[in-house]
Amino acid sequence: MNPEYHGIYAALVTPYTSDGKVDYSELQKLVDHLIKEGIDGFYVNGSTAEAFLLSDEERNSTIKAVVEANAGRKKVICHVGAISTDLAISYAKTAEKCGADAVSAISPFYYKFSEAEIVQYYQDIMASTELPMFVYNFPNFSGFSLTEEVLEKLNKNRNMVGVKFTSSDMFLLEQMKTLHPELVVWNGFDEMLSAGLIMGADGGIGSTYNCMPKLAHKVYDSFASGNMEETHKYQTKMNQVIKVICKYGVFASVKEMLEMDGFAFHGVRRPFAPMSEEGKKELRHVYEEIIVPNR
């Protein structure tokens, strides 16, 4: 386990006002709430934040709002990935200026960029700031799967510190950690947190930790203390919730669960669909049956 980066980090959701603007004060309340619930750090402007549905200005203001609310208490990793290198660099510069701890970036997407172009994109972002970089590997969404060869190349850069690994290829996760034990590897699929930890991950970054930080920490802590039975027991409980979350849309569902805790988030941005009445009912059920008793 890495001494600096480990544990359970929430990939923060983006709250909106009733007229669809980003609600920075609800976001700051969420940061505070999660710290009270024992979260170890934050991942800002990731997939979970609907980052690609936010304007440049909103992404920059979100970074500022989170760093400010966190006030140095926990680690803040800012996702700066974009289809354009220049845009990614501009977010990285905002992160550095605001006082974030690290950056992370998905590979450039849509056009099928070559491996050499993708490597150059990361090198350019890393050259633009002093902040450490966590490469975001999410082949399902980006269309590019990080390989041992690409990682080897990027790891020559002194700013390279780790990988956010959102893939179910646990063999690759293990190989990355075994070949580069100095790198931090974050497990990205919350439903496989225990598997990722067993294969060498230092912790997890995920959407569902917004609404069940305590339960996720129970998985992490049971694993850390060597109790595999408990690790599995808590993972299974988490997965009962995640199953429903995935059924009704991850981001809308996570926000719906936080509304049950008293937040006002006003749904997700189009083209994501709003939560259905049926979804609300099923989410309420797992909230009461699993989340509340495991606090």
Residues that bind ligand MN9 (CB under 6 A): 11, 47-48, 166, 188-191, 206-208, 242, 246, 250
Asked whether the beta carbons of 102 and 75 are under 8 A apart, the reply is: yes
* Shortest separation between residue 124's beta carbon and ligand MN9, angstroms: 23
* Shortest separation between residue 140's beta carbon and ligand MN9, angstroms: 8
The span from the CA of 271 to the CA of 133, in Å, is: 30
Compare residues 118 and 212 and give the one whose CB is closer to ligand MN9: 212
Q: Point out the catalytic residue in the list 136, 209, 234, 287.
A: 136
Compare residues 128 and 207 and give the one whose CB is closer to ligand MN9: 207
Question: Does residue 164 have an active-site annotation?
Answer: yes
* Shortest separation between residue 244's beta carbon and ligand MN9, angstroms: 11
Name the residue with the smallest CB distance to ligand MN9: 206
Contacts of 101 (CB under 8 A, 6+ apart): 41, 75, 76, 77, 131, 132
The span from the CA of 228 to the CA of 60, in Å, is: 41
Question: Does residue 110 have an active-site annotation?
Answer: no
CA nearest 103: which of 137, 61, 132? 132
Compare residues 128 and 163 and give the one whose CB is closer to ligand MN9: 163
Crossing angle (nearest 10°) for helices 56-70 and 24-36: 40
Compare residues 11 and 103 and give the one whose CB is closer to ligand MN9: 11
For the chain, state the CA radius of gyration: 18
- Which residues on adjacent β-strands are paired with residue 186? 164, 203
* Shortest separation between residue 210's beta carbon and ligand MN9, angstroms: 9
Q: Point out the catalytic residue in the list 43, 75, 121, 164.
A: 164
Q: Which residues are catalytic?
A: 136, 164
